[in-house]
Structure 1
Amino acid sequence: MTCPICGKPTEARHRPFCSRRCQQIDLGRWLSGAYAIPVAEEDGAEAEDDAGSRDEPARGPTRH
């Protein structure tokens, strides 16, 4: 298995990466939004959501 960041062989301690450095690079990419999962919305779903949100009053965060 090779490191997805630099391509070097991985070490069991840092798997699937080769080093702590590559782990940190990957984490930084996730936190900065460099990795994203594309979402395909159905046609009309967005329009329905927008219309419904105008009828309801704005709410703050729910506290438990």
Structure 2
Amino acid sequence: MKPPRLVRCPQCGKESPWSPENRWRPFCSERCKQIDLGAWASESYTIPGAPTDEETAAPGIDFSSTPR
């Protein structure tokens, strides 16, 4: 049996095994996994693009209730 492949943790860069035994993969620890989850939840990760109609709408207009 060959040793598990090592990958870099996306959060801290530490090498960690890519195997079923590492329950936080691709992260090295629960802490790094939680830090990454928090960044997603706080919308720190974004994909650049043009603003949507809803983002550029006049204040007070609720597009979610407008029939499309």
Q: Same fold (TM over 0.5)?
A: yes
Name the TM-score class by shorter chain: 0.5 to 0.7
Q: Is the counterpart of residue 39 in structure 1 residue 49 in structure 2? A: yes
Q: Is the counterpart of residue 23 in structure 1 residue 29 in structure 2? A: no
> What is the number of residues matched between the two proteins?
51
C-alpha RMSD of matched pairs (Å)? 3.2
Structure 1-normalised TM-score? Answer: 0.59
For the structure 1 residues 37 and 59, does the alpha-carbon distance in structure 2 shift closer, same or farther, using more than 3 Å as the test? closer
Uncovered stretches (5+) of structure 1, i.e. residues with no partner: 42-48
Uncovered stretches (5+) of structure 2, i.e. residues with no partner: 1-6
In the TM superposition, 1:51-62 aligns within 5 A as 61=65
Higher relative helix content: 1
Higher relative strand content: 2
Deviation of the 1:61 alpha carbon:
4.3
Runs of 4+ in structure 1 over 3 Å off = 58-62
**Which has the larger Rg?**
1
The SS at the match of 1:28 is helix
